[in-house]
Amino acid sequence: MKFDDLDPGLLSATIQRALRHGGDFAEVYVEDRRSLSLALDDGKIERTSGGHDYGAAVRLTVGDRTYHAYTDEVTEADLNAAADAVAAAIGAGVAGSAAELGNLRSEPGLHAVGRPPQAVAIDDKAALLREADETARAYDAAVHQVSASYLEGRQRVLIANSLGDLVADDRTRVRLTVSVVARRDGIIQMGHESRGKSRGFEVIEGSVAADLAGAAAAKAVTMLSAKPAPSGPMAVVLANGFGGVLFHEACGHGLEADAVVKGASIYAGKLGKVIAAPIVTAYDDGTIPGEWGSAAFDDEGIPMQKTMVIDEGRLCSYLNDRLRAGKMKSPPTGNGRRQSFRHVPVPRMRTTYIAPGNATPEDVIAATKHGFYAKSLSGGQVEPASGNFVFGVAEGYLIENGRVTTPLRGATLVGSGIDILKDIDMIAGDFRVKPGMCGKDGQSVPVGTGQSTLRIKRMTVGGTG
Amino acid sequence: MLDKVEALLERALARGADAAEAYAESGESRRIKVYEQAVEQLTAARRKGIGLRVVVDGGVGYAYSSDVGSDALDEVVEQALGNARVADRDEHAVLPEPPAAYPELSVYDERLAAATDEQKIALALAVERAALAADPRVKLVEDTIYADGEVEVFLASSTGVRGTYRENHCYAFAYALAEQDDQVETGLSFTVGRALADLDPQHCGEEAAERACQLLGATKCRSMKATVVLDPFVAASFFGVVVSALSAEAVQKGRSLFADLVGSEVAGPRLSLLDDGLHPDGLASSPFDGEGTPSQRTPVIEAGTLRGFLHNARTAHKGGCASTGNAARGSYQGIPGVGPTNLILSGENQPLADVIGAIEHGVLVTNAVGVHSGANPVTGEFSVGISGLLIESGRLGAPVREVTLAGDIVGMLKGVVALGDDTRWIPMGSFLVPSVVIEGTSIGGS
């Protein structure tokens, strides 16, 4: 049965079948996803791949237990088999109750798609990659390798549950990424830039490919003259945009309620307490129109929202899904997300950011006598239980006497989320969001990380110099 | 599914593909998560899908679908052909020729297929119980997971490759949290095999607990030049970065620090690294790789000298050599790239206690974070956050954390002076590794 031909009556019957031996909550999640990716490497378009994934999952919760079965054939027989698999896990019992499904809800206008990418000729997509390649190569003779990739996806979901919710969401995302390797005198450096939105092809048209390529090339070439970064504690200025990945990793994951309910987060039990400097206010927001980490609904059919997590230094909310909201007796925040029908929803961030302040980025640099300027980070890892993190710095500089000076390579930032939040002492107003993919529990979902330029007064830099 | 790959191949060739390769997989899996001695989550899954690679006028296109109905097959063929037409001509776009025979290899255990959910749940509960009982400072086990999977793979290509095999595996892991004086430390352990009887839940739980508890009270240490002992978990993640630079794809694209080093000494004289796609216990073993080349044993580093790289058919054609059977395909959704199978690190193994006993100042590293962001396989620069235990005058001492270990990858490989006798499988990838002792590293602390 095709996605468009699905009958709410069948979903309703599946829910009742799943609940027939008992259970508090049952849900059917149907997903139809079409993707296309093109990759250019070494001047050639050589990896062009597209596909279709279509499947359904049945989920049943009983007290603290969750049973989940999925199938990649969506017929009445397969949905029955999935419902039987979760019902069998309970064994015999009194049937759980399900409300009648309400009217279908959807919000097609929230993240409107200008040019559906499926309607754009594949040659036009290839042309963007070629333009990125040419621009990056023309930037400097030291540019040695360029790779660029284009990704489009349309994910349609239909969610029905025993509370009577019937929700459809239609999510289109487009992303363009450029990576440049520069080489001179045996030294190799890389630069990376991307733009991705929950929009159509329009977000990467015009000068976007050339702009990304130029920026990635500039980063790689600049870093060729970098010196090994020093080690030790110092003031660290994080640039706007992808610098927000540090907040995402070091703090955001600890606010996801699955870790909190188990007491496995450093932020457990700290609701209402001061966890950050008073200048810090932070949000996790799934409502920013067209943003990479936004959608109309989460993957449990709850409207995404703008959730304030830190209010002037005080922790004011965790990030919930239905299961954890129930356990914490707090309202869901619309953070129940899943990579696909093959995964169970867990609390996940959307676009997470520290709100802009009043300073200018120039003020922040000028006020720093000696420090490290992390212009872009290459990613990182955190242990949510301890809040300890490590980040690689893709582009870093020394700050001397209030000025950005020597580029520095090979630096990592090491610390713990709870310390750096208290040590943020300046925030500028140059707010930007960058797209990323966040991995957790074997699931990858699109998220945004954002911030303005800000300063952490003391943090450990691990370098090789 | 055999009829599906044949049909896909036939239609692709009929619609104008010069060469084509159809792949299908079909499988089942279980994932059971327990918490506080009760089932928290049970996932029962069936998964299948098809993928098609075509070559048209030298350009390669790929398409896939989880739907294997007749209409869906036509759609996959059209999409793959359309994708191939936009691709640039690739003179190295070759599909492997069929071999005389595939190696006989048993990677399927009937005992796992016969195991019940009740037995699997009991095993997961035993892991958690062992972790909680091991030490009163273990506050909780955040994740205790048992998982298994079985998959049947089908491959057919226009060069005449026809292959199928069935594989299964299971594993359990625990992620324990220990607490003392408001400090929380974590410890991870795995147990892997092809049957429940292969798994050791007691050891898995106890080890996760021990790995967490031994870090309690950790502080920063001073910055120093030191000898480090990477335990097998950390050694596996370090060698994961090394191996990503040993793929011929990375080398040919100018993204490997090893590009010009074949025949040179790249590691300590005791160190050998073998990619073994045939190891009977390896979870990455299979009779053939993602495009039908027979799996094999490939020495990558022999006694410190770099012997060569890992190849699929394309990189081998470009490099003028033979494929090493390392065409890697994550699933039916993926174009075959280059990836390792089972990686086996060997040398002169010595009792771990003797190795540690000979170290004057050092760190036993039991945890490394940021290995993938902090290590650069192109430039070789390496800087990661570590925790572990100090070694002073040959004895294990105080725990340390929030310090960095930095250097360059070849420098670290050349600094390998000894291997422990604690070789074991680590399923992050599929590594068979001992503890690795490296001299002359930089520890960045206070």
Q: Is B375 helix (H, G, I), strand (E, B) or coil?
A: strand
Min mean pLDDT across A294-303, A387-396, A422-431 is at: A387-396
pLDDT digits (tens, 9 = 90+) for B290-313: 999 999 999 999 999 999 999 999
Residue B373's pLDDT is what? 64
CB-based contact B43 A344, cutoff 8 Å: yes
Mean pLDDT for A221-247 is: 90
Percent above pLDDT 70 for chain A: 99
CB-based contact A52 B66, cutoff 8 Å: yes
Q: Does A287 touch chain B (CB under 8 A)?
A: no
Q: Which residues of A touch B65 (CB under 8 A)?
A: 51-53
Q: Does A66 touch chain B (CB under 8 A)?
A: yes
User: What is the rounded CA–CA span in Å between residue A47 and residue B393?
Assistant: 54
Q: Could you give the ipTM of this predicted complex?
A: 0.88
Q: Does A297 touch chain B (CB under 8 A)?
A: no
pLDDT at residue A382 greater than cutoff 90: no
Min mean pLDDT across A434-438, B352-356, B405-409 is at: B405-409
Same domain, B269 and B140: no
Same domain, B185 and B124: yes
Question: How many other C-beta atoms are found inside a 10 Å radius of the C-beta of residue B304?
Answer: 18
Q: If you measure CA to CA, which chain A residue comes closest to B382? A: A410
CB-based contact B60 A46, cutoff 8 Å: yes
Q: Is B434 helix (H, G, I), strand (E, B) or coil?
A: coil
pLDDT at residue A218 greater than cutoff 80: yes
**pLDDT greater at residue A465 or residue B405:** B405
**pTM for this entry:** 0.90
pLDDT digits (tens, 9 = 90+) for B315-354: 999 999 999 999 999 889 989 999 999 999 999 899 999 9
Same domain, B204 and B229: no
Mean pLDDT of chain A: 93
Residue B377: pLDDT band (50, 70, 90) is confident
Q: Does A464 touch chain B (CB under 8 A)?
A: yes
Percent above pLDDT 90 for chain B: 83
Q: Does A230 touch chain B (CB under 8 A)?
A: no
Q: Which of A458, A448, A264, A436 is nearest to A354 (CA)?
A: A448
- CA–CA min distance A282, chain B (Å): 25
| Least CB–CB distance from A188: residue in B48, B51, B379 | B379
Residue A439 makes CB contacts below 8 A (sequence gap 6+) with none
Q: Is A228 helix (H, G, I), strand (E, B) or coil?
A: strand
pLDDT digits (tens, 9 = 90+) for B42-97: 998 888 999 999 999 999 999 999 999 889 999 999 999 999 999 999 999 999 99
CB-based contact B47 A72, cutoff 8 Å: yes
- CA–CA min distance B313, chain A (Å): 15
User: What is the DSSP code (8-state) at residue A253?
Assistant: H
pLDDT at residue A386 greater than cutoff 80: no
User: What is the rounded CA–CA span in Å between residue A381 and residue A386?
Assistant: 12
pLDDT at residue B372 greater than cutoff 70: no
CATH number for the domain including B131? 3.30.2290.10
pLDDT at residue B256 greater than cutoff 90: no
Count how many domains chain B has: 2
Q: Is A314 helix (H, G, I), strand (E, B) or coil?
A: strand
Same domain, B226 and B208: no
User: What is the rounded CA–CA span in Å between residue B409 and residue B414?
Assistant: 9
Mean pLDDT for A121-149 is: 97
Same domain, B344 and B433: yes
pLDDT digits (tens, 9 = 90+) for B6-42: 999 999 999 999 999 999 999 999 999 999 999 999 9
Token output for A75: 């017929």
Same domain, B223 and B130: no
Same domain, B328 and B430: yes
Same domain, B234 and B325: yes
Residue A384: pLDDT band (50, 70, 90) is low
Final residue of a structural domain among B143, B178, B212: B212
pLDDT at residue A151 greater than cutoff 80: yes
Residue B97 lies in domain: 2-212
**Which amino acid would we find at residue A246?**
L
Q: What are phi and psi of A267, to 5 degrees?
A: -95, 0
Diameter over CA atoms, chain B: 73
Same domain, B207 and B229: no
| Least CB–CB distance from A464: residue in B60, B117, B442 | B442
DSSP code per residue over B336-358: -EE---EEEEES-B--HHHHHHT
CB-based contact B369 A462, cutoff 8 Å: no
Question: How many other C-beta atoms are found inside a 10 Å radius of the C-beta of residue B445?
Answer: 20
Token output for A197: 């939105």
Same domain, B197 and B125: yes
Cβ-contact A460, A413 below 8 angstroms: yes
| Least CB–CB distance from B177: residue in A50, A264, A344 | A264
Q: If you measure CA to CA, which chain A residue comes closest to B386? A: A390
pLDDT digits (tens, 9 = 90+) for B176-194: 999 999 888 999 999 999 9
User: What is the rounded CA–CA span in Å between residue A374 and residue A380?
Assistant: 13
Q: If you measure CA to CA, which chain B residue comes closest to A32? A: B66
Final residue of a structural domain among B212, B244, B278: B212
pLDDT digits (tens, 9 = 90+) for A152-161: 999 999 999 9
Percent above pLDDT 70 for chain B: 99
Q: Does A186 touch chain B (CB under 8 A)?
A: no
**Which amino acid would we find at residue B158?**
S
Q: Which residues of A touch B82 (CB under 8 A)?
A: 122
Q: Which residues of B touch A396 (CB under 8 A)?
A: none
Q: Which A residues 395-424 touch B at CB under 8 Å?
A: 409-412, 414-416
Q: Which residues of B touch A44 (CB under 8 A)?
A: 87-88, 90
Mean pLDDT for B130-136 is: 98
> What does the angle CA B269 – CA B316 – CA A41 come to, to the nearest 5 degrees?
100
Residue with tokens 């400090």: B183
CB-based contact B385 A379, cutoff 8 Å: no
- Residue to substitute from A149, A261, A412, A458, interface B, most B β-carbons within 10 A: A412
User: What is the rounded CA–CA span in Å between residue A153 and residue A78?
Assistant: 26
Q: Does A80 touch chain B (CB under 8 A)?
A: no
Same domain, B339 and B206: no
Q: Does A185 touch chain B (CB under 8 A)?
A: no
Alpha-helical (H) ranges within B47-194 are: 70-86, 110-114, 117-134
Pairing, β B436-444 against β B224-230: antiparallel
Same domain, B102 and B137: yes
Q: If you measure CA to CA, which chain A residue comes closest to B367? A: A383
CB-based contact A47 B62, cutoff 8 Å: yes
Residue A232's pLDDT is what? 86
pLDDT at residue A301 greater than cutoff 80: yes
Final residue of a structural domain among B212, B235, B270: B212
Helices (H) and strands (E) in chain A, counts: 10, 22
